[in-house]
């Protein structure tokens, strides 16, 4: 694929909607340093992946990739705040997977053990609209290290290569799929459970409700339609109004 100097060539409307990686909070994110700074998060230390384990998993995942550019499929906050440098962004659809609110947070990010929070994960079934980012081959090692520190904090996701549709063209992309073996993934949640968790979960990164609202607001500006997220946010707001 020929290189280009403008990452937003195909979607200039996204230029003001995506955080500059150099200005991203997650560019220098370090979960161990965050725990050191916030003693109330100490209980999470036994849950997080040690750095050497995280590095080993990244190496094994990248070993399945050729030496060329790497595409990354984003289905949540990575869409507007990827934190890694990218050479190209495209609207993308991944068949066979969809966005589900099944990722529990009890470790202090957007929920605690006393009041767990809930976030989105990619799971099998249906299809999912999102964005695909292309990382240049020479930047893959540096930029995926940043990606791993953010997405692979602890058990919850499995790095997975999926086929994405980019304007009618098939492209293998790396994404992060729900790990059914992880305690953080709960497939038994009812809609009422989801509403309660999102309405009440909060932590050092903010509330679960703010996370969902941010998704819905950015989907609107990115032109991505997810009626389930929109309906879920309304149900959370109705739930809170009734309290």
Residues designated catalytic: 151
Tokens encoding 50? 């040690």
Q: Are 101 and 184 in contact (CB under 8 A)?
A: no
Q: The tokens of 162 are what? A: 């999926």
Q: First-to-last CA distance in the chain?
A: 55
Buried b (16+ CB within 10 A) or exposed e, 159-189: bbbbebbbeeeebebbbbbbbeebebbbeeb
Q: Where are the beta strands (DSSP E) in 151-216?
A: 157-166, 169-178, 202-203, 206-207
The torsion of the CA quartet 201, 220, 81, 13, rounded to 10 degrees, works out to: -170
Looking at the DSSP bridge assignments, the partners of residue 91 are: 131
Sign of torsion, CA 188 190 191 194?
Answer: negative
Among 94, 78, 205, 90, smallest CA distance to 144 is for 78
- Alpha carbons 55 and 59: distance in angstroms, whole number: 6
């Amino acid at each position: 694929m020929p290189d280009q100097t403008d990452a937003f060539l195909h979607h200039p409307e996204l230029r003001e909607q995506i955080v500059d990686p150099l200005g991203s909070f997650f560019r220098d994110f370090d979960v161990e340093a965050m725990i050191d700074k916030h003693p109330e998060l100490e209980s999470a230390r036994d849950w997080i992946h040690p750095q050497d384990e995280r590095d080993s998993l990244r190496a094994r995942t990248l070993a399945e990739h050729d030496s060329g550019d790497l595409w990354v499929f984003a289905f949540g906050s990575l869409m507007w705040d990827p934190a890694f440098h990218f050479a190209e962004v495209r609207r993308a659809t991944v068949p066979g997977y969809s966005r589900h609110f099944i990722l529990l947070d009890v470790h202090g990010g957007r929920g605690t053990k006393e009041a767990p929070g809930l976030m989105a994960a990619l799971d099998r079934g249906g299809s999912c609209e999102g964005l695909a980012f292309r990382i240049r081959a020479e930047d893959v090692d540096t930029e995926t290290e940043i990606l791993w520190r953010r997405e692979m904090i602890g058990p919850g996701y499995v790095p997975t290569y999926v086929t994405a549709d980019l304007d009618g063209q098939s492209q293998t992309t790396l994404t992060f799929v729900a790990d059914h073996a992880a305690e953080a993934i709960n497939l038994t949640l009812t809609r009422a459970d989801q509403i309660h968790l999102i309405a009440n979960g909060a932590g050092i990164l903010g509330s679960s409700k703010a996370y969902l609202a941010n998704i819905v607001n950015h989907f609107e500006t990115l032109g991505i339609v997810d009626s389930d997220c929109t309906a879920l946010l309304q149900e959370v707001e109705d739930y809170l109004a009734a309290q």
